[in-house]
Structure 1
Amino acid sequence: NTQLVELVGVIATYNMVSRFLVALEVTPDQH
């Protein structure tokens, strides 16, 4: 169960960060 919780947490964090970057219009090409 702990692995499932960690997996869900990682996915939720990734989605939140990706949306945040998209909101800032940041693209990997600019890195």
Structure 2
Amino acid sequence: MGFIAYVLFISLFIGMALGLYYSLKAVKLI
């Protein structure tokens, strides 16, 4: 249970980081 929650948290954090990175790139292009 703890391991699954840990993996879910890491994947969520990576997804948020990627979303922020791409949104910043899009803002720079505009």
Which category of TM-score, normalised to the shorter sequence, fits these structures? 0.7 to 0.9
TM-score (norm 2): 0.82
In 2, distance between residues paired with 1:11 and 1:3? 12
Residue-by-residue CA offset, 1:5-30 (whole Å, 9 max, x unaligned): 000000000000000000001xxxxx
RMSD of the TM alignment (CA)? 0.2
* 4+ runs deviating over 6 angstroms: none
Gaps of 5+ in 2: 1-5
- Rg comparison, structure with higher value: 2
Instruction: Flag the structure with higher helix content.
Output: 2
Pick 1 or 2: higher relative contact order, CA cutoff 8 A, min separation 6. 1
